[in-house]
Structure 1
């Protein structure tokens, strides 16, 4: 960038210094003669400054050490004679430094130094060279270091001419050549000075600089290969903490259980916190479980006061009884299937009314009598009604002929009318029995005349409870006799029992295999409510003498059945089971929360002495909400079962609120 011109010493013109590379390329070239114009500087020169003359001597131009190519071209050029005008300045030069002359007045070559002198550094980053002071009378080689900026000029003892020598041709025609890297060939030793010429005293530089050149890098073996020349194999890359310690000059902290535990906490704590947040959000927004009502344990049962009721069961066969809507009175005897006789006609009526329902006052469609029904009317071995082929009777009238006089031919005619064939209708009867849970019942004919039609008292009680819900059926079986328009007058075989107070029927049956059988019903009003008493008595056989057509067995079964009816009617009573305002249960939110509910009115129930009535708490017409105000009705309290059960509404004692956030958070199910 800059070149400085040193002033002449002892009136002699300064000889340009040679560049290391230029000295090799321009050996033998001569300097221009005196009076000739020195060629212009290189194209990259900017300014050239001329040092002041010493003792009237003009300053001679020196060649730039940094101009590699120019130094090669003008290696042998001579300095202009004293008194001659100096050549014009270079175009881009700012400072130009001239190497000092030797003892013979000639300038030392830049690339070669005399033996014993320090070899100047030849660095690619050198810009300016500083002149070393003389050692033992010899001019010291210039120090060319990368950190030098300026080379201090030496004052000439006496200058001549007062003019600056003209530039050489090589300077005017020089061009930019990049410096050579020091990593290449080693610098050549400087040549010795010519003998016989005394050394000229060189003045020490204004700012002496001494820089130790960096040590050459050690050769390293290839990565992953063996060590070269005994050198150790390269170490594995350092861990991040070790590398950080090297950079910060701080050793890594020692591994301790506490530090390891803390590191794990720092790593896993954010993940655990995130999982907790997700868990809390899921728990908070999960759908709430359905609320449910639970009865208080103290109100789950109620025992009627008094001496325990003793049912007068028959001495043989089997029986079962219940108060509809209150509870079971119990059973008697071995529960085994026995012939039903005409009690089977109750199932026939149940299937007909199920497939062809009638409303109260409705007679239903007409049914025409066929020849088979007329022929069966003439039988002497079974109960029948007089029928003639071609006659038509309503469904209601045919049901009266079936249930009041117990006509077998009427049962078979209804079966053919409903299902076309007898077997198809029997299949319907058995299907209905399964629907009602009559697991020990089998029907093989619609009239019960066949001894293979069998059942139990418990199963027949289930049928009685179901069929007595039909108003048309209840109306028919309660009649002791009836007149059929255009038909016969009908007398009920149960007329003597039906004349008793509160007796409602239902159906008698008798045969030698079955003995006497009876499905019976009665009523009793207590506490302002009518309660129905139902029962079935089967397998009653008269043993006190002859029993033609099981007539005595039929009478026997009616007598023992009435004793049971009478005993229940007399023992049935009504009491207040729960008072208004009593806490009877709770609304459970499914997460551990409970809100008490109370009865909105007195609950009265029917029973007999010693009976343990069961209370239940159930939902009302609307589902139980998750939030509601105190006093909101949320369900019903029931005592008993079935259609005759007693019920009262229950309401919240206090406000019902949703589960708390803590309850939602700890919800596991």
Structure 2
């Protein structure tokens, strides 16, 4: 599986190189070795292909932004315009979070901000969206938790819209449930499948190195020290949609493991 990898710090210049993430796809008879703390893979027929500590509560870092997007898409029109405030910009800077490099005073559509949320994982975008569609962060978080309850995510509790360190928690299984539900929305699916999104003043690139692989349709990367490297991933293969979640993994290893899990699930579906 030949994919582009991004090398460089959060604020440094990024260099793209090509690397082989998987030299030998898993066979139908071989279950991949998964070193992540927790993992879960399920398909649209509700067949579980892999489970490891899937119901253990843990922080999920920026996978939280999947729920942020899910709630916004239920509340807003894509053409709605949100004016970026100083507090949105400061929120990302003060917390040392990933940013979409938004600027105070710029006016962006919800569609633009959802790309800034999901591709570069902008905490400034999440703050602007939560502020606008709570309205206010507390009210928005309440909507997130209400949505989690409706989806049957019994082991999930949100405290913010971006996944910054807090007392929030979820599980690999709950995040897979959310991801499957979010992907049912064609707008969400289109956003997380894009490698690049350009608007005046901004070029946002997707941090998901699986994009470009067979059938892959996203979904979201995440990292905090407590959560480790996380990944929600999905692909349409073997006539089904396969969704997986890895929590507490290593940076590059999560993409290799996700690729192997997708191959494994597909082989089980097709019997090949």
TM-score category, normalised to shorter length = 0.7 to 0.9
Question: 1:454-484: CA deviations, max 9, x gaps?
Answer: 1100111110111110000000000112112
Identify which of 473, 476, 501 aligns with 2:214: 501
- Tell me how far 1:313 sits from its aligned partner: 4.6
Where does residue 73 of structure 2 map in the other structure?
353
Alpha carbons 1:320, 1:457 under 8 Å: kept: yes
In structure 2, what is the Cα distance between the partners aligned to 1:555 and 1:334? 21
Counterpart mapping for 1:382-421 below 5 A: 382-421=97-136
Identify which of 255, 263, 268 aligns with 1:566: 263
Structure (1 or 2) with the larger CA radius of gyration: 1
In structure 1, what is the Cα distance between the partners aligned to 2:95 and 2:152? 36
- Tell me how far 1:378 sits from its aligned partner: 4.1
- Tell me how far 1:318 sits from its aligned partner: 1.1
In structure 2, what is the Cα distance between the partners aligned to 1:315 and 1:391? 43
Alpha carbons 1:444, 1:450 under 8 Å: kept: no
Where does residue 338 of structure 1 map in the other structure?
58
Identify which of 283, 307, 312 aligns with 2:32: 312
* 1:571–1:334 CA distance, 2 compared to 1 (3 A): closer
In structure 1, what is the Cα distance between the partners aligned to 2:156 and 2:71? 15
* 1:497–1:308 CA distance, 2 compared to 1 (3 A): closer
Where does residue 524 of structure 1 map in the other structure?
237
Identify which of 136, 146, 153 aligns with 1:438: 153
Q: For structure 1, which runs of at least 5 residues remain unmatched after alignment?
A: 1-306, 541-552, 574-607, 610-669
- Tell me how far 1:501 sits from its aligned partner: 2.0
Where does residue 325 of structure 1 map in the other structure?
45
Question: 1:588-640: CA deviations, max 9, x gaps?
Answer: xxxxxxxxxxxxxxxxxxxx47xxxxxxxxxxxxxxxxxxxxxxxxxxxxxxx
- Tell me how far 1:368 sits from its aligned partner: 0.8
In structure 1, what is the Cα distance between the partners aligned to 2:29 and 2:180? 22
Where does residue 10 of structure 2 map in the other structure?
none
In structure 2, what is the Cα distance between the partners aligned to 1:404 and 1:474? 12
Alpha carbons 1:321, 1:331 under 8 Å: kept: yes
Counterpart mapping for 1:168-207 below 5 A: none
Counterpart mapping for 1:430-509 below 5 A: 430-484=145-199, 486-494=200-208, 496-509=209-222
- Considering fraction of residues, name the structure with more helix: 2
In structure 1, what is the Cα distance between the partners aligned to 2:195 and 2:212? 8
Alpha carbons 2:91, 2:127 under 8 Å: kept: no
In structure 2, what is the Cα distance between the partners aligned to 1:468 and 1:475? 9
Alpha carbons 2:63, 2:163 under 8 Å: kept: yes
Q: Helix, strand or coil for the counterpart of 1:433?
A: helix
Task: State yes or no: 1:538 paired with 2:247.
Answer: yes
Counterpart mapping for 1:220-299 below 5 A: none
* 1:476–1:334 CA distance, 2 compared to 1 (3 A): closer
- Tell me how far 1:565 sits from its aligned partner: 1.0
Scaled by the length of structure 1, the TM-score of the pair is 0.35
In structure 2, what is the Cα distance between the partners aligned to 1:497 and 1:399? 20
Q: How many residues align?
A: 246
Alpha carbons 1:521, 1:534 under 8 Å: kept: yes
Where does residue 224 of structure 2 map in the other structure?
511
- Considering fraction of residues, name the structure with more strand: 2
Q: For structure 2, which runs of at least 5 residues remain unmatched after alignment?
A: 1-26
Alpha carbons 1:313, 1:564 under 8 Å: kept: no
Q: Helix, strand or coil for the counterpart of 1:460?
A: helix
Q: Helix, strand or coil for the counterpart of 2:51?
A: strand
Q: Helix, strand or coil for the counterpart of 2:210?
A: helix
In structure 2, what is the Cα distance between the partners aligned to 1:463 and 1:513? 21
Counterpart mapping for 1:360-379 below 5 A: 363-376=78-91, 378-379=93-94
Where does residue 20 of structure 2 map in the other structure?
none
In structure 2, what is the Cα distance between the partners aligned to 1:366 and 1:350? 18
Alpha carbons 2:84, 2:107 under 8 Å: kept: yes
* 1:504–1:512 CA distance, 2 compared to 1 (3 A): same
Where does residue 242 of structure 1 map in the other structure?
none
Q: Helix, strand or coil for the counterpart of 1:402?
A: helix
Question: 1:260-314: CA deviations, max 9, x gaps?
Answer: xxxxxxxxxxxxxxxxxxxxxxxxxxxxxxxxxxxxxxxxxxxxxxx97543251
Alpha carbons 1:522, 1:534 under 8 Å: kept: yes
In structure 2, what is the Cα distance between the partners aligned to 1:564 and 1:500? 13
* 1:432–1:558 CA distance, 2 compared to 1 (3 A): same
